[in-house]
Structure 1
Amino acid sequence: MDARDPELKKELNATLQARHELGAEYEPALVESFLEKVEQRLDGVVDRRVRRELAERQMAAARDARTPSPVEGFGERFGFGVVSLILAIPLSAIAVVNADFKGLVVCWLGIFGVNAVHASRGRFWTPGKRRRSSDWED
């Protein structure tokens, strides 16, 4: 609500005009009526602000719920690491047989890369979440 709200200014002018026409005996009723209108307007503004704040908190809670905590993702990361090490044994053997030491290095760089990307997935990148440049974007 702006301090220079044109609707409230019109209401105040109408109230003052009615007081001038009706006399001082109606002044308490006129003031009471004007204050009720101001109160209704303030209630509307406060309601909108509370709804906006609640929506922002719900959005923040939803964003926080999408990113797993380090404790929650431990089992998945541990299982992925174990599986990749188990698969590394036959892959290493195939790499050594076909390309000697260079093949082994390439194989282990690939294993390391896959594990690094998987481990950093929750920290740096979350599927379906894009970074916004401002809060005004949809």
Structure 2
Amino acid sequence: MPDAPLPRDELRATIEARRDLGPEYEPALTDAFLDRIETAIAQRVKAEADSRLPDARHTAWEEQQERKRGLGLALGSLGIAVPLTAAAGATSGMPGMMVAWAGIVAVNMAYAFGRRRRD
């Protein structure tokens, strides 16, 4: 919307109409003029807000990418957990398996807490 001034000519016309029609029409004329003013202000506010707010499609795209990264981390963690558990169990027994799983849990927790901090 162009940055047009509020309708000053309409105010003059409303005042003239009030003189012609009489004081009994003043509330209706005033309400109609104020409605036009409110519409003009709402359009300006919307235009300013639209220019300052991020594009919702871009934000949705970023959220979708974040979900994909989280899914990738979860699947990767499970994929590496099986051979890592087998190797740790075969070489070090239960203590090795616990260390391996502690590392997997730590990576996933670090990702989750980092994600929460960004939100």
- TM class by shorter-chain length? 0.3 to 0.5
TM-score by length of 1: 0.39
TM-score by length of 2: 0.43
Report which of the two has the higher share of helix. Answer: 2
